[in-house]
Amino acid sequence: MTGNLELLGTTLAAARAEDRAALIGYLPAGFPTVDGGIRAAIAMVEGGCDVIEIGLPHSDPVLDGPVIQTADDIALRGGVRIEGVLRTVREVYEATGAPVLCMTYWNPVDRYGAERFAEELAAAGGAGCILPDLPVEESEVWRKAAQHHGLATVFVVAPSSRDARLATITAAGSGFVYAASLMGVTGTRESVGRQASDLVRRTRASTELPVCVGLGVSNAAQAAEVAAFADGVIVGTAFVKELLAHQGDERAGLDAVRALAGQLAAGVRRSG
C-alpha cells in the first residue's frame, strides 16, 4: 500500500484555492492515552484542522518545549510504542479522511528500520514523516524508503539557515517545508516573530513546495498573522495545553481542543 502524499498535496492546494493557509494540528500519540489521543486528534479535525501531525514520543525531545515534554512523558509512562503511534495514524485517517503525518526524531525510526517504518506508516494511511533532527546529508536511506511507499519527507528550516542551505534542504524534501518561526524549542509565544515572514520569503525563493510555519502559534490572531504570509499554520503546544488543563475530564478536553481548532481555523480564513 502506498501512503497519502498525494492527499497531502491536494489538501494544501485546496486551502490555497480558498485563498487561505491550511491549519495543521499536532498531538503526540499516547497522550493522554492512545485511545484518548485518537479521539482528541479526530476532534481537532472536526473543529477545523486540515492536516494532523502525530508525534512519536521520545525520551529526549531536544526540540520540544516543556508542555510537549510533559505530554511525551505521560505517553511514555503509559506504555506507548511505535505500534500505538501507527494505530493512531490509521484510526485518525480512517475516521476523518484528513492527511496524517508522523513527526519523529530519527533515532526511533533508525532503530525500528527505515524501510519497515515507511512500509507500516504507509499501510496505516500516513501521508509522510517530519524529521526535525535528520540532516539532509544523512537522509538518503529514509528518503528512498519514503518515496518507494508514497510518503512525504518534510524537513525543518530555521531562521539561522542561510540561503544556500535552504536550497539544499528544500531540494531533498517533499510534501511541504516546515519553517520554524524562531530559534528555540516548541511552545506558545506572545509574538510569533518577524523572523518567520523573512524565512518564508527566503524559502520560497528556492522551492515550489508549500511553506508551513510552526513554533509559537497559539490563538486566532497569531494564526491570522502567520497565515497572511505562509501556506500553512502549525499548532501543537496550544492543543496539548488544553488537554493538560482538562485531565480527568475527557469530554471537556475534547470540547476544548475542538473549540480551539475552530478559533484557529477562523483565524487562517480571516487572513485571506
Please give the distance of CA 13 from its chain centroid, rounded to a whole number: 17
- Check pLDDT > 50 for residue 50: yes
C-alpha cell of residue 67: 508542555
pLDDT tens digits along 56-104: 998 775 666 789 999 999 999 999 999 999 999 999 999 999 999 999 9
pLDDT of residue 142: 98
- Cα–Cα distance, 98 to 100 (Å, whole number): 6
Overall domain count for the chain:
1
- Cα–Cα distance, 183 to 179 (Å, whole number): 11
- Check pLDDT > 80 for residue 272: no
- pLDDT average, residue stretch 115-135: 97
- pLDDT average, residue stretch 144-160: 96
- pLDDT average, residue stretch 210-236: 93
For the four alpha carbons of 32, 36, 37 and 40, in that order, the dihedral sign comes to negative
pLDDT of residue 220: 93
Nearest by Cα to 100 from 7, 224, 227: 7
Q: What is the identity of the amino acid at 130? A: I
DSSP, collapsed to helix, strand or coil, labels residue 171 as helix
- Give the percent of the chain with pLDDT over 90: 83
CB count, 10 Å around CB of 136?
17
Please give the distance of CA 232 from its chain centroid, rounded to a whole number: 10
- How confident is the prediction for the chain on average, in pLDDT? 92
Q: What is the pTM of this model?
A: 0.94
- Give yes or no: 133 in active site: no
- Check pLDDT > 80 for residue 213: yes
- pLDDT average, residue stretch 138-159: 96
- Check pLDDT > 70 for residue 192: no
* Residues comprising the chain, all counted: 272
Catalytic residue among 53, 72, 120, 242: 53
- pLDDT average, residue stretch 124-148: 96
The boundaries of the domain holding residue 195 are 4-269
- Give yes or no: 60 in active site: no
**Sequence-distant (≥ 6) Cβ neighbours of residue 95 within 8 angstroms:** 38, 42, 45
- Cα–Cα distance, 127 to 4 (Å, whole number): 4
Cα angle 189, 193, 196 (rounded to 5 degrees) comes to 120
- Check pLDDT > 80 for residue 189: no
- Cα–Cα distance, 93 to 52 (Å, whole number): 9
- Cα–Cα distance, 26 to 51 (Å, whole number): 9
Please give the distance of CA 271 from its chain centroid, rounded to a whole number: 21
pLDDT of residue 271: 58
Q: In what order do the strands lie in the sheet with 128-130?
A: 152-154, 128-130, 100-103, 51-55, 22-28, 232-235, 211-214, 177-180, 156-157
- Check pLDDT > 50 for residue 175: yes
Q: Which residues are bridge partners to 233 per DSSP?
A: 23, 213
- Check pLDDT > 60 for residue 149: yes
Please give the distance of CA 252 from its chain centroid, rounded to a whole number: 24
Cis bond upstream, residue 32 (ω within 30): yes
pLDDT of residue 184: 43
pLDDT of residue 188: 44
Task: State the distance between the two ends of the chain, measured CA to CA, in whole angstroms.
Answer: 37
- Cα–Cα distance, 7 to 96 (Å, whole number): 12
Catalytic residue among 50, 64, 225, 231: 64
Q: What is the CATH number of the domain that holds 95?
A: 3.20.20.70
Among the residue ranges 35-49, 68-82, 190-204, the one predicted with the least confidence is 190-204
- pLDDT average, residue stretch 15-39: 97
